Amino acid sequence: DSAKPSNFLRHVIESDLQQGVYTARKWGGSPGDAQHHAQGMQDPAKVRMRFPPEPNGYLHIGHAKSIWLNFELAKEYGGVCHLRFDDTNPEKEEQEYVDSIRDAVRWLGYATDLADRPDAAGTTQSHEYFASDYFDFMYRAAEYLIGAGLAYVDEQSAEEIRANRGDFNTPGTDSPFRSRSVEENLARFRAMRDGQLDDGAAILRAKIDMASPNINMRDPALYRIRRATHHNTGDKWCIYPMYTYAHPIEDALEAITHSICTLEFEDQRPFYDWLLDRLAEGDLIESPHPRQYEFARLNVTHIITSKRKLRQLVEEGHVDGWDDPRMPTLAGLRRRGYTPDALKLFCERSGVTKSGGWIDYASLEAALRDTLDPIAPRAMAVLDPVKLVITNWGELMGGDDALDDCTAPIHPHHHEMGRREFKLGREVWIEATDYEDVQPKGFFRLFPGNKVRLKYGHVIECTGGTRDASGKLVEVQAKLVPDTKSGTPGADAIKVKGNITWVAAADALQAEVRLYERLFAAANPGSGELLDELNKDSLVTCTAYVEPSLAEAAGGAGFQFERHGYFVADTKAATQGQRVFNRAAGMRDSWGK
């Protein structure tokens, strides 16, 4: 597809496919453990990707980038993508997060099951992957490494281990436990597993090179002791594999071909390869094993994606939960009015590169507008209402209570979407900012003596405005200009420069409108004091009047409020029978203007 921007990962995959790199794998023929997991995979030549979130929080926009990248690449090359819960850290993980992650991936439009994995009866089975399902294999692989002299149980204290690791300028120092015999290591590792050692009393380490210039290769930890109940394996284990050990194994057992991660894992790649090379030598996994590739993580201005900081905002009540429409979580963006298509377009436009940087928040909103503009039903809404009285209405229309039928296309370019209907009457709600006592320069809306069109209705001529003692505008008056109704012959005989939105007092619906703005005023939040960086005006609530076509707006339904931008019916409020609209984005970027 030549319309798709190229990225370096496509080159890697295409070259691998051309050379048949993964066709060479001998599936099911190996005596090792690999076949146990891999035999369900019908086509080893396929590109096989994965998205491996840790279920310790809600997914955010950075994860959307990773989900989009992995699932789209798999789709493009006729392969599959696994959703794998990287659940090796029992203390921080919860079922609530597993569920929210699954929902978010499905909402984005990606199937979380693997269609080509048949069950025992040969029929296709839905499947999700959990790293914890491989704990038995990981344990066996660790005993294999010990047996091969490639791992040892270190019983130094955590401080000693840290101190002996050295740093960028200083090589590390060998642990006194490094030269233990295979038998002793095996016995101590089994003692760890059997609960004979206290939490933190020992770790299993790879035996690689304490002088390596890459600190990740200085005998990294493989296992630690942690008495914690796991959401999947319960109390079966009191030792848990480290992420750096578990992750390459998870990839290998699932026959992943290209394992994509963010740049901060670049220094981990030598260990990833070291481990899988050793396990392949032991015939525990298939060759060629998966390869890791890194790309720059997504950073968006005015947005924070650290789960820890997002949790702080939730716990301290600065936002209304993980799905607050200002949150960069997928649950929040969804409630804000973002659609899967908008987020995917944003991901695509943000590019896939090896060098980081900040993407402007404005491009997130631009992707929203560009995807919603062609499809969003239009509606009129008055957010800062003041009453306009058409003083000659009764005289011209046959009574003060008379109502005139008006209609407008649901979408200006897609007439097949149909039309919406509403009334015009003697009293209408208009925006208070559409009236001035004296014409400011360049202002063509309502001021005494000026004519404007009530959009889709008639032309009116403003005769004045009334203010209360404090100077607040309380009413505007105007006269209807006869024979000017939109869509009737001669309606355009009188040219006007102003075309204002309105809703009739007779059929307008009251609604709460939540005007959301970016959560952080700071362009690059996260560097300073979090709370000082917040935008104090990220939510302004108003009581608005909206046109009757919005009466039945279902939670999650999106609209363009003419002149005002893109809004969505709030899902939570809708389930409670309240009419609330959230602003996703204004009509144009006005930040700082």
Q: Which residues participate in catalysis according to the annotation?
A: 54, 297, 307
Rounded to a whole number of angstroms, the minimum distance from the CB of residue 65 to Mg ion is 14
| Residue 207 DSSP class | -
Cβ closer to ligand ATP: 63 or 289? 63
Rounded to a whole number of angstroms, the minimum distance from the CB of residue 259 to ligand ATP is 9
Count of residues that bind ligand ATP according to CB under 6 A:
14
**Considering only 51-59, 72-80, 147-155, 197-205, which stretch makes contact with ligand ATP by CB under 6 A?**
51-59
Mapped onto helix, strand or coil, the DSSP state of residue 473 is strand
Q: Which residue has the tokens 């998205």?
A: 51
**Considering only 142-150, 300-308, 368-376, 389-397, which stretch makes contact with ligand ATP by CB under 6 A?**
300-308
Note whether 65 binds ligand ATP by CB under 6 A: yes
Residue 62 contact, options Mg ion, ligand ATP, none, Cβ 5-8 Å cut-off depending on partner type: ligand ATP
**Considering only 48-56, 347-355, 365-373, 459-467, which stretch makes contact with ligand ATP by CB under 6 A?**
48-56
Residue 65 contact, options Mg ion, ligand ATP, none, Cβ 5-8 Å cut-off depending on partner type: ligand ATP
Residue pair 509/379 in contact by the 8 Å Cβ criterion = no
**Considering only 49-57, 115-123, 143-151, 173-181, which stretch makes contact with ligand ATP by CB under 6 A?**
49-57
Cβ closer to ligand ATP: 292 or 560? 292
Residue 325 contact, options ligand ATP, Mg ion, none, Cβ 5-8 Å cut-off depending on partner type: none
Mapped onto helix, strand or coil, the DSSP state of residue 401 is coil
Beta strands in 147-242 (DSSP E): 151-154, 203-206, 221-225, 239-241
- Among 33, 569, 55, 103, CA closest to 307: 55
Residues 368, 576: Cα–Cα separation, whole Å: 27
Q: Which residue has the tokens 């990740």?
A: 216
* Paired strand residues for 232: none
Note whether 247 binds ligand ATP by CB under 6 A: no
Residues 253, 250: Cα–Cα separation, whole Å: 5
Residues 479, 400: Cα–Cα separation, whole Å: 13
Residues 224, 200: Cα–Cα separation, whole Å: 7
Residue 501 contact, options ligand ATP, Mg ion, none, Cβ 5-8 Å cut-off depending on partner type: none
Q: Which of residues 301-320 bind ligand ATP (CB under 6 A)?
A: 305-307
Give phi and psi for 414, each to the nearest 5. -120, 80
Dihedral class, residue 357 (left if φ above 0, else alpha if ψ from -120 to 50, else beta): left
Identity of residue 370: D
Note whether 50 binds ligand ATP by CB under 6 A: no
C-alpha distances in Å from residue 66, one per residue of 247, 298, 305, 396: 16, 9, 13, 62
Note whether 244 binds ligand ATP by CB under 6 A: no
Cβ closer to ligand ATP: 55 or 377? 55
Cβ closer to ligand ATP: 309 or 414? 309
Q: Which residues bind ligand ATP (CB under 6 A)?
A: 52-54, 62-63, 65-66, 261-262, 297-298, 305-307
